[in-house]
C-alpha cells in the first residue's frame, strides 16, 4: 500500500501546539503564511508544493470566528493544490454546544460547521473530547475522536490523592464522570444545576457522598466558569476536603479567570487545545499537553494503523 508524503501545517490560533505536535511526530511545520488585507479579509498561502501529499491542517476553532474561516480556507487551498488527502485537525471543535435545536427557530451550528468542512474539501476530521459524541454522525467522512482521559488519568494517579471522588458539574457530564470514576476506581458525585438563563446558574445541589472526600470535577470545557466555581464552592460547603477540576478545553471567556481564582478550586488541570491568556493570573492552572497524543494518532492514521487501543474510554 503506497504511503503518501505527510506535511503538517498550522493556523495562527493553534501554532504553539502545532509546533509541539510536529516536533513529537519528528518533523517541522510546513511553510505557510496568512496575507492580511486592509478591509479585514485574509488569504492563507502555502509556500511549498502539496501535490500528492497527505496534509494535516491543525487549528482549534475557538472564537473569534476568523479561526474557523482560516481553517476552512486552508483546507480549500490544500485541496486546490492537489493534495492527496486533507485532514482537518481540530483539537477543540468550536460550535459543538449547538448540536441540536433546544428551542424553536435556532440553527444546529455543529452540523453547519461539519457541512462547511466537508464542502471545503476535508477528507477526515481529527478532534478531542467533543461536547457530544453524536456530533461524529454529522460528518459523512471519517472522524477520529480522541480522549483527554489518556492524559488526565495518569496525572491524577501521580498525585496519589486519598479519598478521591469524581464529580460531574451537571447531569449532562455524568457519562464522562462515570468513565473517569471507573478508570480511577473511585466513587462518583453528580451535581444538579438549574439554569436561570444561558450561562447563568440558578441553584445547585449534589448527589453522592461529599463529606471528607477530595473531589475532582471533570468536564469537556470551561467557558465562563460559573457552573464549575459554584459546584466547587457548594461541594466545599458540604464538607469536601478539597476540590480540583480536570477540564479539556479552557475556553475561559468573560470573568472566568477571576472567578476561578476567587473560588474554592485548589487546582484546575487543562490541556493546551486552547492557549491560556498569559496576561491573567494562572497560579491555579496546570497545563498538560496533548501534542504527543495527536502526533501518535497522526502517525497511526497516516500509516493505516488502528488507534482504538491507545484511548482511555
- The per-residue pLDDT for 207 is 86
If one compares 199 and 60, the residue with the highest pLDDT of the two is 60
Known active-site residue 20: no
pLDDT (mean) for 265-285: 98
39 pLDDT band, cuts 50/70/90, is: very high
Smallest CA-to-CA distance from 185 within 217, 207, 162 is with 162
- The per-residue pLDDT for 308 is 83
- The per-residue pLDDT for 192 is 78
User: What percent of the chain lies above the pLDDT cut of 90?
Assistant: 86
201 pLDDT band, cuts 50/70/90, is: low
d(CA 146, CA 126) in angstroms, rounded, equals 8
pLDDT tens, 127-138? 999 999 999 999
Instruction: Examine the pLDDT at 199 and tell me if it is beyond 60.
Output: no
Of 41-45, 129-133, 304-308, the one with minimum mean pLDDT is: 304-308
Contacts of 216 (CB under 8 A, 6+ apart): 156, 161, 164, 165, 166, 167, 180, 243, 244, 245, 246
pLDDT tens, 140-179? 999 999 999 999 999 999 999 999 999 998 888 889 999 9
Check: CB of residue 61 under 8 Å from CB of residue 95.
yes
pLDDT (mean) for 192-218: 78
Check: CB of residue 244 under 8 Å from CB of residue 216.
yes
pLDDT (mean) for 200-225: 88
139 pLDDT band, cuts 50/70/90, is: very high
pLDDT (mean) for 211-238: 95
Spot the catalytic one: 5, 20, 193, 305.
Answer: 193
310 pLDDT band, cuts 50/70/90, is: confident
- The per-residue pLDDT for 307 is 87
- The per-residue pLDDT for 313 is 47
d(CA 14, CA 61) in angstroms, rounded, equals 9
Question: What average pLDDT does the structure give for the chain?
Answer: 94
- The per-residue pLDDT for 279 is 96
Give, in degrees to the nearest 5, the angle at Cα 19 between 217 and 75: 95
Check: CB of residue 264 under 8 Å from CB of residue 202.
no
Instruction: Examine the pLDDT at 35 and tell me if it is beyond 80.
Output: yes
pLDDT tens, 75-88? 999 999 999 999 99
Residue 179 has which C-alpha cell?
468513565
Instruction: Examine the pLDDT at 52 and tell me if it is beyond 70.
Output: yes
Instruction: Examine the pLDDT at 239 and tell me if it is beyond 90.
Output: yes
Amino acid at each position: 500500500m503506497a504511503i503518501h508524503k505527510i506535511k503538517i501545517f498550522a493556523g495562527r490560533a493553534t501554532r504553539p501546539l502545532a509546533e509541539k505536535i510536529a516536533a513529537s511526530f519528528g518533523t517541522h511545520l510546513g511553510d505557510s503564511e496568512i496575507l492580511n488585507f486592509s478591509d479585514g479579509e485574509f488569504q492563507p498561502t502555502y509556500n511549498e508544493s502539496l501535490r500528492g501529499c497527505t496534509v494535516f491542517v491543525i487549528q482549534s476553532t475557538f472564537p473569534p470566528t476568523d479561526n474557523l474561516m482560516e481553517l476552512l480556507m486552508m483546507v480549500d487551498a490544500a485541496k486546490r493544490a492537489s493534495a492527496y488527502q486533507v485532514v482537518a485537525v481540530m483539537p477543540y471543535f468550536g460550535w459543538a454546544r449547538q448540536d441540536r435545536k433546544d428551542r424553536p427557530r435556532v440553527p444546529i451550528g455543529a452540523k453547519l460547521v461539519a457541512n462547511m468542512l466537508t464542502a471545503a474539501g476535508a477528507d477526515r476530521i481529527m478532534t478531542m473530547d467533543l461536547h457530544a459524541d453524536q456530533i461524529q454522525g454529522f460528518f459523512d467522512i471519517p472522524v477520529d475522536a480522541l480522549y483527554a482521559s489518556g492524559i488526565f488519568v495518569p496525572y491524577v494517579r501521580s498525585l496519589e490523592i486519598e479519598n478521591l471522588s469524581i464529580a460531574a458539574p451537571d447531569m449532562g457530564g455524568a457519562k464522562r464522570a462515570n468513565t473517569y470514576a471507573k478508570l480511577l476506581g473511585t466513587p462518583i458525585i453528580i451535581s444538579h444545576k438549574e439554569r436561570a438563563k444561558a450561562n447563568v446558574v440558578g441553584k445547585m445541589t449534589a448527589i453522592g457522598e461529599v463529606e471528607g472526600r477530595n473531589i475532582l470535577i471533570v468536564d469537556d470545557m470551561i467557558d465562563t466558569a460559573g457552573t464549575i466555581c459554584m459546584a466547587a464552592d457548594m461541594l466545599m460547603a458540604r464538607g469536601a476536603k478539597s476540590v480540583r477540576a480536570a477540564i479539556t478545553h479552557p475556553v475561559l471567556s468573560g470573568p472566568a479567570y477571576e472567578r476561578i481564582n476567587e473560588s474554592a478550586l485548589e487546582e484546575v488541570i487543562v490541556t493546551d487545545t486552547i492557549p491560556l491568556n498569559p496576561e491573567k493570573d494562572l497560579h491555579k492552572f496546570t497545563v498538560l499537553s496533548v501534542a504527543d497524543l495527536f502526533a501518535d494518532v497522526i502517525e497511526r492514521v497516516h500509516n493505516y494503523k488502528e488507534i482504538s487501543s491507545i484511548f482511555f474510554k
